[in-house]
Amino acid sequence: MSKFRQHQINLDTQIALSAIKQYNFTLPELELIKCLENTTFKLSSKEGKFLLRVYRGKHNTIQDIESEAQIINYLRADSHYKYQEPIRNKADNFVSIGDAKEIYKPVSILSWIDSPPIGDELQDLTLFYKIGKLIAHIHDRLSYWQTPDNLHRPMLDVNSLIGSNGAFKYAPLAYRNLDEETVDLIELVYNYLLEFETLNTRESGIFGIIHGDLHLNNLIIHHNTLVPIDFDDSGWGYYIYDLAVTLAKYWDTPEYSTIKNHL
C-alpha cells in the first residue's frame, strides 16, 4: 500500500470517529472495508452493525447525500424488496460532518446487511431475469414518487456522463491523459448519444430516477432476495442506462446474448 493511500485511510478513519460522536452508538469499533472514491467502514457497536461512508467525491455535497437517503427511504416503504436503512444522527439528519486536522468531510451511515455482494463469478445466468425485475420495480416505484422540492441528484445524460466537464466533474482531469484515438472514440459515442437524446424526449416511461450503478458488486442476495446497494450514483436518467450498466461487463463474452435476453 502506498504512503498516500495509507495517509488517506488514517485521515478518513479519524474523520469517521469524529462523525460517530454525533450518533447514539455504544462502544463503536471501525473495520476498514475499502478506500476508493469513498472510504467505507464496517461499524460495530452494542446497537448492531452498520456501514459507514466517508465521502471524497466531487459530487457528494450534503444535499446530494441527504437526497440519496430520501430515495432509499422511499423505496424502503415498499415490501417487495429489502434496502439498507439510512441512519439519522442526533440532529435528525442523514449526513454528519466529520473532521480531522482541519479537514472536513461528509459522513453517512446505513444499516448493515450480513451477506456479501454477488460479485463477478457467474453460475446461474437466470439471475439476470431477477435483476431485470428488480430494475423495473425500482423504476416503476420511483415514477410514482412526488419528489421533494429539495431533492438534488445528478442528471445522468450525455453531457454529464462523457461531456467535456462530465463523469461527475472528473472528465477534465481524465481527458488530458487520453490518447487521440481514444478521445476520437469518446467523441463518436458522445455524438451517437446526443442523437439518441434528441430523438427520445425525457418523458415518463423511458426517463426518471435510476440507480445508475447496478452491477453485480452492488447487488446482494440476502435470504433469497436481491438487495440493491450503493445508490451513490443515483440520479435522473434514461431507464435503459441502468440496463447498460448491468450488461457492460459482459459485452465481449459468449454469454452476452443470453444475459441480455434474461435481463
pLDDT digits (tens, 9 = 90+) for 142-173: 999 999 999 999 999 988 888 777 766 667 77
pLDDT digits (tens, 9 = 90+) for 13-64: 999 999 999 999 999 999 999 998 899 999 999 999 999 999 976 678 999 9
Beta bridge partners of 35: 39
Which three cell numbers mark 137? Answer: 420495480
| CATH classification for the domain delimited by 127-262, as one of 1.10.240.10, 3.90.1200.10, 3.40.640.10, 3.30.460.10 | 3.90.1200.10
Task: Identify residue 63 by its one-letter amino acid code.
Answer: Q
Which three cell numbers mark 93? Answer: 439528519
Query: How far apart are the C-alpha atoms of 250 and 155, rounded to whole Å?
Result: 25
pLDDT digits (tens, 9 = 90+) for 95-140: 999 999 899 999 999 999 999 999 877 779 999 999 999 999 999 9
- CA 127 and chain centroid, separation: 21
pLDDT digits (tens, 9 = 90+) for 54-93: 997 667 899 999 999 999 999 999 888 999 999 999 999 9
Return the pLDDT at 167: 67
Task: For domain 3-111, give the fold.
Answer: Phosphorylase Kinase; domain 1 (3.30.200)
**Polymer length of the chain:** 263
Query: How far apart are the C-alpha atoms of 230 and 220, rounded to whole Å?
Result: 11
Query: How far apart are the C-alpha atoms of 222 and 204, rounded to whole Å?
Result: 31
3-state secondary structure of 252: coil
How, if at all, do strands 207-210 and 48-54 pair?
A: unpaired
* Domain spans of the chain, in order of start: 3-111, 127-262
